Structure 1
Amino acid sequence: MDGILPLWKPKGMTSHDCVMKVRRLYKTKKVGHTGTLDPEVEGVLPICIGQATKIVQFLTDTKKEYIAELKLGTSTETEDDQGAIIEEASVTQFPSKQEIENVLQSFMGEIVQVPPMYSAVKVDGKRLYEYARQNQTVERPKRTVTIHAIAFLPTPKQKDNVIKFQVICSKGTYIRTLCVDIGKELGYPAHMSNLVREETGSINRKDTVDFHAIEEACHQELGHTLLLPITRGLTHLNSIHVDKDTKQKVLFGQKLNKPENFVHTSPFKVMHGSQLLAIYQIHPENSNEIKPIRVFSE
């Protein structure tokens, strides 16, 4: 069984919990998720099953869309509402709509983030949250991420000092940290009070199924009907199409001459009709050749 299970991850479960549950329901060990969501975050979590596990890295690299809420006036050690409060300030004048929009727009494009101490980023072979739990501080590596779009979403919750916004961002963006940084620009300590992932790549909320639907389908041995085709996780990659003879070479994992007038990005899909054969890239040592990264069996 091969395909992408478009799971709506519930609050209270880790991404690993979700993988383990899908393994049990689908009775297979070949299962992998495509981008960690914190336990208290819900939303789109594509789960790759069977041969689809070969595309995990490519689906993980796609843009993500979130609906986030940040609360002004308090910051926490975890940068969300799960941690202890470390700073408080009275919000005497809630920012105007224009002030909020101006600050949000200042985060457009490439930005530099410092990952939170309570995160899975590794420093000297040890995850940051492990240092944090031992009350140790270490220098955290800065990372450059991209904010592709960000927009203020007016809400009655403003009376609770809450700002709601939509953001489309690159892989590796910490929305918790983004909330803290937005708060600083507005002149207040802040933390992320809620987060929902609405989209990963081309897979969005309307595509998803919850565990209740998955359990029902698997009980009726219809779990396969919930899976999206592997190509659905690769819509951001260009394609080249090959004939029947070349198809066999691709399935054997052979290098090929780069097609004439090749203008595609690398990596890219290799297709025969509607069949996904492989993911190839331009050969790093010979720009006139293309070589396979992943090959899919028939």
Structure 2
Amino acid sequence: MASPAPQSGILLVDKPQGITSHDVVARARRALGTRKVGHAGTLDPMATGLLVLGVGASTRLLTYVVGLGKEYHATVRLGATTVSDDADGEIVSWADTVDPATDAAIDAAFAAQVGDIQQVPSAVSAIKVNGQRAYARVRAGEDVELAPRSVTIESITRTADPRRLEVEGHGVVDVDIVVRCSSGTYIRAIARDAGEALGVGGHLTALRRTAIGPFAVAEAVDGTTLSAETPELLGATETAERLFPVVRLDADGAVALGQGKRIPVEHADTAGPVAAVSGDGRLVGLVRVDKGIARTLVNFPADQTGA
């Protein structure tokens, strides 16, 4: 009897608070019985929400997921700064007053960050400085200054009236926002920079990632029960069809492309990948089409893609 095809697909997980993204990967490996599980970007332990994991041959698709736009729901606390720009870090300072943080001023502080901007990442981050993670240098007592990076923030939308409250005897303002942004954007930095613009300081108290490209957290399995059950995977073909234009292949074309040959296809030329799908619904590969000829970029052999 032939051995079953290895598992392959994309696993969408709703990460709970208080564990690392690597903990989620470990749970997925146990649940699926395979070590070939990768991720398309992590979340801080404080954050919850969508993680996209690749299983088996479908880890090859993660390269194309990493750079997709993202959506976050967040709560920013104005009036206090922390060493990490979020609630996991020690409080560095409190504002004497949050009077400058009027509703109009708050909206203006966030609006100033919308567009193509140069954003300085949070010092407590995984970015390497001279071969060492920035967060490790900060924890060792060093002052770390990171270079600004180009990011695109599509929108920052306030979803409720700012809430004025008292924390540890200090007045603060909590603001709920939805951020749509490019990959590489630090939501903690948005909170920090809004606080700086208002002259009161700011940090992040809650963060939930709700979407990555075409994938939504509503589709995800619960990360708290992940290792207790076998989760359902999103197939390689369905994943590729969400991410790329599609060209359908006849039987001969599927065989030829699988052998590494260039084949004629009825599809407009593209600069980016196209999903080449066989008549029986199998992802044969990702191709680039030039002058009506498809050339393989990533191959998905039939015995590696599973059902």
Unaligned ranges ≥5, structure 2: 1-6, 166-171, 303-307
Instruction: Tell me how far apart the structure 1 counterparts of residues 41 and 222 of structure 2 sit (CA, whole Å).
Output: 17
Q: Deviations over 1:188-244 (max 9, x none)?
A: 2111111011112222121111145534533xxxx4xx2112244442322233332
Could you list the per-position Cα deviations for residues 24-50 of structure 1 after superposition, in whole angstroms to 9, with x for gaps in the alignment? 121101101121100111111122111
Query: Where is the helix percentage greater, Structure 1 or Structure 2?
Result: 1
- TM-score, structure 2 normalization: 0.84
Which residue matches 2:8? 2
> Is 1:182 the equivalent of 2:186?
no
Query: Is contact 1:100–1:186 with CA below 8 Å preserved after alignment?
Result: yes
The answer to whether the 8 A contact 1:70-1:190 is kept is yes
Structure 2 equivalent of residue 82 of structure 1: 88
Match of residue 23, structure 1, among 22, 25, 29: 29
Identity %: 31
The one of 73, 82, 86 aligned to 1:67: 73
Q: Select the residue among 136, 139, 142 that pairs with 1:136.
A: 142
**Are residue 199 (structure 1) and residue 211 (structure 2) matched?**
yes
- The answer as to whether partners of 1:94 and 1:161 remain within 8 angstroms in 2 is no
Contact (CA 8 Å) 1:238, 1:265: kept in 2 or not? no
Distance 1:291 1:86, change over 3 A: farther
The CA distance in 1 between the partners of 2:141 and 2:152, in whole Å, is 31
Partners of 1:206 and 1:276 in 2: CA distance = 25
Tell me the residue number matched to 1:295.
299
Q: Is the 8 A contact 1:32 1:53 kept in 2?
A: yes
- How is 1:48-63 mapped onto 2 (pairs within 5 angstroms)? 48-63=54-69
The separation in 1 between residues aligned to 2:216 and 2:135, in whole angstroms, is 30
Secondary structure of the equivalent of 1:39? coil
In the TM superposition, 1:262-273 aligns within 5 A as 262-273=268-279
Q: How does 1:37-56 map to 2 (within 5 A)?
A: 37-56=43-62
For normalisation by structure 1, the TM-score amounts to 0.87
- Opposite residue 292 of structure 1, the aligned amino acid is T
Tell me if 1:152 matches 2:158: yes
Gaps of 5+ in 1: none
Q: Secondary structure at the match of 2:196?
A: helix
- Pairwise mapping of residues 85-234 of structure 1 onto structure 2 (< 5 A)? 85-93=91-99, 95-155=101-161, 157-159=163-165, 160-218=172-230, 223=231, 226-234=232-240
Residue identity in the other structure for 2:299: V
Larger CA deviation: 51-60 vs 101-110: 101-110
SS at match of 1:250: helix
Partner letter of residue 173 of structure 2? N
Structure 1 segments of 4 or more deviating over 6 A?
none
